[in-house]
């Protein structure tokens, strides 16, 4: 009797294409590792030198100096705004921060205890459903949609959390920055200047990052000429995974599980014995430390000092040392994001939605760039299943 094909054939690290690949053979790179899939002028992720550049500016020059409002403008328009451009852009964002009806009423109907990333994914999809111009493709129309999504995502996240915890949704406050407004809408108290600028720097540092999985997803969807909202919703789905955006949440859960700096070494030993992954460590592109990590570490340290509770920072720092000694693994962006967001009073469950809020600017810029010079993204696959199986009519098929 014929056996069904193995659904998970063993993959080799690389192989030669045959079949529908004409004439020349090509190497298969699992996970597209090392493959350059296109041009971009938005950000440069230099894995060898461990540098990140937004539109020509090293991230080190922007961190703590340019606000998220400035950086989102830079990513979308290609240049840092002048004072008057920034004032207009900030006003535009402020005007789109309030959710239009019927969204607030619909958010109340969503299952409050669902995963926050699943809720955000659904809410952004709803933004598209109620946008009468959702299908408009012009650059102006896409930029207008991007403003709505960048501005309203923090409002959506804060509203959903307050509904989940039995509170009343708070409208945004005029005069507060993008980051400060989020903390106000979530926690119901205006943040200190230090807290607001810490979240602002977090948003800035995570605003874009080359062809990472979620951005590439957004570009792939845009490549089919589907609408802006479809691309952003797909990107949110991609970011939700623990090998990508959810690593910040998992990193915090790891710190909570460890509990004290003294417990770091036994914890690392257990993880090594069980062959488990350390969340917030390792990176596909950076060969050393993620250039965003030192900024996040500095900010987390300052927040810890201000809160009078250095424990989470101390556990993180010890873990960074012990994992480096044991495995020569460097930290990535998600590692100190965990203690930073925790010190700001943001619930662990919301951490990945914070990443999404930051990345809205980058995703939007990539949708615009892809649409501006589009070519359908459609790679080949090497078929590894059987060939020429004899067809067996239904009545003659036996269970295998």
Check if 244 is active-site.
Answer: yes
Residue pair 86/326 in contact by the 8 Å Cβ criterion? no
The residue among 33 and 100 lying less far from ligand ACO, judged by its C-beta, is 33
The residue among 81 and 245 lying less far from ligand ACO, judged by its C-beta, is 245
Stretch 156-175 residues interacting with ligand ACO (CB under 6 A): none
Strand partners of residue 43: 54
Stretch binding ligand ACO (CB under 6 A), from 87-95, 217-225, 227-235, 282-290: 282-290
Among 49, 277, 287, 397, binds ligand ACO (CB under 6 A): 277
247 binds ligand ACO, rule: CB under 6 A: yes
How far apart are CB 332 and ligand ACO at their closest, in Å? Answer: 4
How far apart are CB 235 and ligand ACO at their closest, in Å? Answer: 12
Among 54, 68, 216, 278, binds ligand ACO (CB under 6 A): 278
- Which CA distances in Å does 351 have to 57, 202, 344? 27, 12, 11
Strand partners of residue 46: 51
322 binds ligand ACO, rule: CB under 6 A: no
DSSP string for residues in 365-390: HHHHHHHHT-----------S---PP
Residues in contact with ligand ACO, shown as a per-residue x/- string from 178 to 217 under the rule CB under 6 A? ----------------------------------x-----
Per-residue burial over 154-169, b = 16 or more CB atoms within 10 Å of its CB, e = otherwise = bbbbbbbbbbbeeeeb
The residue among 163 and 333 lying less far from ligand ACO, judged by its C-beta, is 333
- What are the structure tokens assigned to 259, written together? 């509990």
Helix intervals (H) in the chain = 59-62, 68-77, 83-96, 103-109, 116-129, 139-164, 178-187, 193-205, 213-223, 228-239, 247-258, 264-273, 293-307, 311-327, 333-343, 351-372
333 binds ligand ACO, rule: CB under 6 A: yes
Stretch binding ligand ACO (CB under 6 A), from 227-235, 276-284, 360-368, 379-387: 276-284
Check if 113 is active-site.
Answer: no
Among 160, 279, 299, 361, binds ligand ACO (CB under 6 A): 279
32 binds ligand ACO, rule: CB under 6 A: no
Helix intervals (H) in 206-284 = 213-223, 228-239, 247-258, 264-273
CA distance 353 to 75: 20
74: exposed, middle or buried (C-beta count within 10 Å: 0-12, 13-18, 19+)?
Answer: buried
User: Tokens 């969807």 appear where?
Assistant: 221
Check if 283 is active-site.
Answer: yes
267 binds ligand ACO, rule: CB under 6 A: no
Stretch binding ligand ACO (CB under 6 A), from 79-87, 108-116, 244-252, 261-269: 244-252
Task: Give the interface with ligand ACO as residue ranges (CB under 6 A).
Answer: 31, 212, 243-245, 247, 277-284, 329, 332-334
Q: What residues are labeled active site?
A: 244, 283, 334
């Amino acid at each position: 009797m014929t056996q069904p094909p193995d659904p998970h054939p063993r993959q080799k690290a690389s192989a030669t294409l045959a079949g529908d690949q004409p004439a020349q053979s090509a190497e298969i790179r699992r996970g597209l590792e090392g493959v350059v899939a296109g041009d971009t002028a938005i950000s440069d992720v230099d894995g060898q030198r461990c540098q990140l550049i937004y539109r020509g500016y090293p991230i080190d020059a922007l961190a703590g100096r340019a606000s998220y409002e400035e950086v989102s403008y830079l990513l979308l328009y290609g240049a840092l705004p002048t004072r008057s451009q920034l004032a207009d852009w900030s006003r535009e964002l402020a005007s789109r921060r309030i959710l239009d009806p019927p969204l607030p009423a619909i958010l109340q109907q969503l299952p409050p205890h669902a995963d926050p990333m699943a809720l955000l994914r659904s809410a952004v999809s709803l933004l598209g459903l109620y946008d009468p111009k959702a299908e408009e493709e012009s650059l102006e129309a896409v930029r207008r949609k991007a403003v709505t999504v960048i501005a309203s995502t923090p409002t959506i996240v804060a509203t959903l959390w307050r509904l989940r915890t039995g509170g009343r949704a708070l409208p945004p406050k005029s005069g507060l920055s993008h980051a400060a407004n989020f903390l106000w809408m979530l926690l119901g108290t205006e943040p200190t200047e230090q807290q607001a600028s810490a979240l602002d720097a977090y948003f800035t540092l995570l605003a874009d990052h080359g062809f990472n999985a979620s951005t590439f997803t957004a570009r792939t969807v845009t490549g089919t000429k589907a609408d802006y909202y479809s691309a952003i919703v797909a990107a949110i789905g991609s970011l939700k995974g623990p090998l990508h955006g959810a690593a910040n949440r998992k990193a915090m859960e790891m710190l909570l599980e460890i509990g004290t700096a003294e417990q770091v070494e036994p914890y690392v030993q257990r993880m090594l014995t069980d062959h488990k992954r350390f969340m917030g460590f390792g990176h596909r592109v950076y060969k050393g430390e993620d250039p965003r990590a030192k900024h996040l570490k500095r900010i987390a340290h300052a927040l810890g000092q201000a809160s009078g509770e250095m424990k989470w920072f101390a556990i993180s720092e010890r873990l960074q040392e012990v994992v480096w000694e044991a495995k020569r693994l460097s930290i990535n962006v998600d590692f100190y994001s965990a203690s930073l967001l925790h010190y700001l009073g943001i619930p662990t469950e919301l951490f990945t939605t914070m990443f999404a809020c930051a990345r809205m600017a980058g995703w939007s810029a990539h949708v615009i760039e892809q649409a501006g010079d589009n070519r359908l993204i459609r790679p080949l696959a090497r078929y590894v299943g059987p060939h020429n199986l004899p067809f067996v009519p239904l009545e003659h098929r036996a269970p295998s």
